[in-house]
Structure 1
Amino acid sequence: MTDELGLFADEPDDRRRRAPDPERFRRRKRRRLVTALAGLFVLVLVGVGVLYGASQIMQIGAYDDYDGEGTGDVVIEVKAGDTVSAIGRTLSQQDVVASTKAFTKAAEENRQINSIQPGYYLMRGKMSGEAAVAHILSPKAKVGRVDIRGGMRLEDQLAPNNGHTPGILTKLAEATCAGENPTCATSEEMHHIAATADLKSLGVPDWAIEGASRAEPKRRLEGLIMPGIYDVKPGESAENVLRDVVTRSAAALEAAGLPQRAEGTKHSAYELLIIGSIVQSEAITKDFGQVARVIENRLTHPVMELGMDSTINYPLDKPSLLTDPKDRDRPGPYNTYLNFGLPPTPISTASKEALEAAENPTEGNWRFFVKCYPDGTSCFAETFDQHRAYIEEARARGAF
């Protein structure tokens, strides 16, 4: 037994206590400290969340709002697709209202708020939400809108009372003025830019640049602004206004089918625009196709001038279709009684319907027409004798 015990005399006793390890102790201490800090951090986050939640509960229904009708002038833009909240954010960002909520809350009871159209609105600074809603819905708030219709021209025209009917360029200039102390582009500035600015930089489509370049300066943009509603930013420069309008019109011309409409016809896209402008100036919509056919028949006749009164009056800035004999005898590029073929430029804006008629005239052999009914309806004739008979009928009806 003594020998057996001796065999294990050098083995360690598992029950014997080991010597302390300082490094191991430090690691345990660090772990405990990290755990404690993490727990404290979690408690802080929970506490902050509770406090924030409580503050939000206490703030439900509260929002900043100004008092009264506000002062000064502030122009804001409502963009296509803007919701009531988006409009409220725009107003808040420009300090028209104190907060988005002030506007949206005031708008909740007003169903008209959904009728707000894209464009520019003249507001005041520091308005109450209620005042802002009432003001933006009023007709006086909408500014910078120009309605360009088929048959309008760049230049002012003589009115029957010896006054002037504003042309497109004057209307665009007037649209830049809004508010008590506006910064406006003048009609003179608008005309200068139209006559001198680089056509491509203004947004004139490539297919129209050659024809427009040949025109006298003040007529270069004639016909290149399509009928439609244009929103002009008040205070904008003449060049920026024209660039925006011409660029948007170029897109409208493309949507109306130019230059593709000219394919398969005997005309270039610019010539088609000229024909469309004459059709627009000479007839009411239901007669567009037949007037376009008269133009085609005269253009292809070997010895017949176009003979359109609207082209005679164009450089004279007269809206009437009637012409004086002395005007018909006056030489000039727009005198289609003395010159064969088309005038050098369009003579007005042309609607999509007029362009469609120019591309696809109604089939027929007419070479003459006259407005023979008081509503503007024309009578079409194949021979001059028929035409003279229609003129007498028109006079009897008081239409001529």
Structure 2
Amino acid sequence: MPVQDDFYYDDRYADDEEYAEDEYAEEEGFFADEEYEQYEDEERAEPEYIEPPDDEEEPPRRKVKRGRRALRWVVALVVIGLIGGGAWYGIDSFFGYDDFQGQGDSDVVIQIGQGDSTGAIGTELFNTGVVASAKAFVKASEDNTKVLGLQPGYYVMKTKMSGAAAVTQLTSPTARVGVLQVRAGTQLDDITQPDGTVTPGVFSLLAKASCANLNGQNTCVPVDDLRKEAATADLAALGVPGWATGPAGKSTDARRIEGLVAPGVYDVKPGWNAADLLGFVLKSSATKIQSAGLASSSQVQGLTPYEILTVASLIEREGVNTDFGKISRVIYNRLNDKMRLQLDSTVNYLLDKPVVTTTDADRQKPGVYNTYTFAGLPPTPIGSPSANAIQAALQPTAGDWVYFVKCEKNGLSCFAVTIEEHNQNKDLARQRGAY
């Protein structure tokens, strides 16, 4: 299609009379040359603005668009209001949530983890069939501050409980089960004190922690089952550290895991058998012992990690925390000087009724744990050493002491380099009524 002077020319209307030059120009607002000249010098008129009539309506389509925009703004504001003003409660009230009725049916054990929120606990209860929905528990616990104080561990609940009933049961004193607490210095077997009272050992404490009544069935694991498992099971399979399996395996009875149960609180699940219980406690203890600083590479004065653990158990049973470093030094100095340790704690380890000071008859009894008659360390630890005792065994306080005796009623000891100083300390201890 040809183009002239940038003006597009359409020849379809060239022969049409209706589009003659004058008429076309007039329709389009143009004038012939002679007419244009007479207006050439005239002033141009200002355009006149004509207001639309008052009753003129906007096109219907425009009204629909504006209506839709208004509706969208309203919806947006409602959504923002829900989010900012408590969408959770609005949704709850609109949709509701499932909830059982009553106190529940059969017993079930649930577990609360460290740091679990109320929502996480509700989810655990829902997954184990305790409540109909996590929300039922969350809503019921809103005004109960005890829920926020729940400790991690195992709890006995019932299936198909209402949210309110679940909150009441979970916060009751009897709900939590499986709590094992081992104090520093505790040994595996029970100790009968001079006054006749019994201090339970690890085996008794673990047997008690295993107990729960679930749907009329008792889950308690007898002490004898635990002792048998400790004496015969594969130590590595139980979780004993590799550096301890060899020397501990030399023992022929349950005492071979003595000292390998670290002090602390353990959560054991009712229904576990003896192997499960001991395995869980020993694996957890291995982590605690390593965290205290004792590892396969540890060495002090040529002692192995297992022997250092034994030294730590002696420190734990012989004094108070303030004196741990000095007692550790006395033990290492005696071992280095080829002196017998002569510790009453090792003699008491096998006695039915241990006392602070042993008698001459007790000290003359034969046995590998009697450090008055046998040189060196006993064959195993004699209790559960704390992290502080382990650290003292790894880093003894510098000094030349080879004697110590409890010389204060609060358990503090007096230390000496010579036997003369030691005898003076013993006299001082008697005057103070330390023993």
TM range (shorter): 0.7 to 0.9
| Structure 2 residue 331 is matched with structure 1 residue 295 | yes
The correspondence of residues 117-136 of structure 1 with structure 2, limited to 5 A, is 117-136=151-170
Among candidates 343, 347, 350, match of residue 315 of structure 1: 350
Amino acid corresponding to residue 219 of structure 2 in structure 1: T
Structure 1 residue 230 corresponds to structure 2 residue 230: no
Would you say 1:366 and 2:405 are equivalent positions? no
Matched, 1:379 2:403: no
1:151 corresponds to which of 171, 185, 192: 185
Q: Which has the larger radius of gyration?
A: 2
Alpha-carbon deviation of 1:80?
A: 2.4
Query: Which amino acid letter does the alignment assign opposite residue 79 of structure 1?
Result: G
Task: Supply the AA of the counterpart residue of 1:128.
Answer: S
Aligned to 2:311: 275
> In the aligned structure 2, how far is the partner of 1:320 from the partner of 1:181?
41
With over 3 angstroms needed to count, the CA separation of the structure-2 counterparts of 1:57 and 1:105, relative to structure 1, is closer
Does 2:354 align with 1:333? no
Contact 2:300 / 2:394 at 8 angstroms: preserved in 1? no
Structure 1 249/145 Cα, relative in aligned 2: closer, same or farther at 3 Å?
A: same
The equivalent residue for 1:34 is none
TM-score, normalising length from structure 1?
0.82
Deviation at 1:83, TM superposition (A): 2.1
Q: Residue 301 and residue 220 in structure 1: after superposition, are their counterparts in 2 closer, same or farther (change >3 A)?
A: same
Counterpart contact for 1:184–1:236, Cα < 8 Å: no
- In the alignment, the residues of structure 2 paired with residue 265 and residue 176 of structure 1 have an alpha-carbon distance, to the nearest angstrom, of 41
- Listed one character per residue, the Cα deviations across residues 231-268 of structure 1 (whole Å, up to 9, x for unaligned) are 11012101111011111111111111222562364211
Between 162-171 and 215-224, report the one with greater CA deviation.
162-171
Q: Who is 1:86 aligned against?
A: 120
- State the Cα deviation string for residues 9-63 of structure 1 (Å, max 9, x = none): xxxxxxxxxxxxxxxxxxxxxxxxxxxxxxxxxxxxxxxxxxxxxxx97973522
Match of 1:178 among 212, 228, 232: 212
Counterpart amino acid of 1:391? Answer: K
Please, which moves more after superposition, 387-396 or 326-335? 387-396
Q: CA RMSD in A?
A: 1.9
Amino acid at match of 2:125: L
CA distance in 1 between partners of 2:301 and 2:159 (Å): 57
Whether the 8 Å CA contact 1:170–1:190 is kept in 2: the answer is no
Q: Which residue of 2 aligns with 1:252?
A: 288
Contact between 1:262 and 1:268, CA under 8 Å: does it hold in 2?
A: yes
Q: TM-score, normalization: structure 2?
A: 0.75
* Pairs aligned (count): 344
CA distance in 2, matches of 1:155, 1:380: 31
**Matching residue's letter, 1:64:** D
How far apart are residue 141 of structure 1 and its match? 1.2
The aligned runs of 1:66-105 (5 Å cut-off) are: 66-105=100-139
Q: Tell me what 1:353 maps to.
A: 388
Aligned partner of 1:22 in structure 2 is none
Closer, same or farther: CA 142–183 of 1 in aligned 2, 3 Å: same
Paired AA for residue 228 in structure 1: G
> C-alpha separation between the residues in 1 aligned to 2:127 and 2:388?
43
Alpha-carbon distance in structure 1 between the residues aligned to 2:95 and 2:406: 66
Matched, 1:161 2:195: yes
Alpha-carbon separation, structure 1, partners of 2:364 and 2:92? 85
5+ residue gaps, structure 1, are 1-55
Shift of 1:69: 3.1
| 1:317 shift after superposition | 4.8
1:111 is aligned to 145
Offset from partner CA, 1:339-360 (integer Å, 9 cap, x none): 1111101000111110111111
1:110, distance to aligned residue in structure 2 (A): 2.3
Change in Cα spacing, 1:57 to 1:227, as seen in structure 2 (3 Å) is closer
1:380 and 1:57, CA in 2 relative to 1: closer, same or farther beyond 3 A? closer
- Following superposition, the deviation at residue 106 of structure 1 comes to 0.9
Partner deviation per Cα, 1:207-251 (whole Å, 9 max, x = no partner)? 001110112312110001111111110121011110111111111
The whole-number CA distance in structure 1 between the counterparts of 2:151 and 2:408 is: 38
Deviations 1:359-396 (A, max 9, x none): 11111111111111111111111122221222222122
Structure 1 residues 58 and 249: CA distance shift in structure 2, 3 A: closer
| Partner SS, residue 203 of structure 2 | helix
1:263 to 279, 296, 299: 299
- Counterpart of 1:202 (choices 238, 243, 251) is 238
Q: Name the residue aligned to 1:218.
A: 254
Structure 1 CA distance for aligned equivalents of residues 336 and 260 of structure 2: 26
Alpha carbons 2:114, 2:152 under 8 Å: kept = yes
CA distance in 2, matches of 1:71, 1:159: 45
Rounded to whole Å, the distance in 2 between the matches of 1:316 and 1:264 is: 30
Contact 1:369 1:380 (C-alpha < 8 Å) held by counterparts: yes
Partners of 1:265 and 1:306 in 2: CA distance: 16
Counterpart residue type for residue 286 of structure 2: A
Q: Deviations over 1:185-226 (max 9, x none)?
A: 111101110111111110111100111011231211000111
Deviation at 1:82, TM superposition (A): 2.3
Does the aligned pair in 2 maintain the 1:265–1:359 contact within 8 Å? no
**Structure 2 residues without counterparts, runs of 5 or longer:** 1-89
User: Structure 1 residues 132, 338: closer, same or farther in 2, change over 3 A?
Assistant: same
Note if contact 2:110-2:154 (Cα within 8 Å) is conserved in structure 1.
Answer: yes
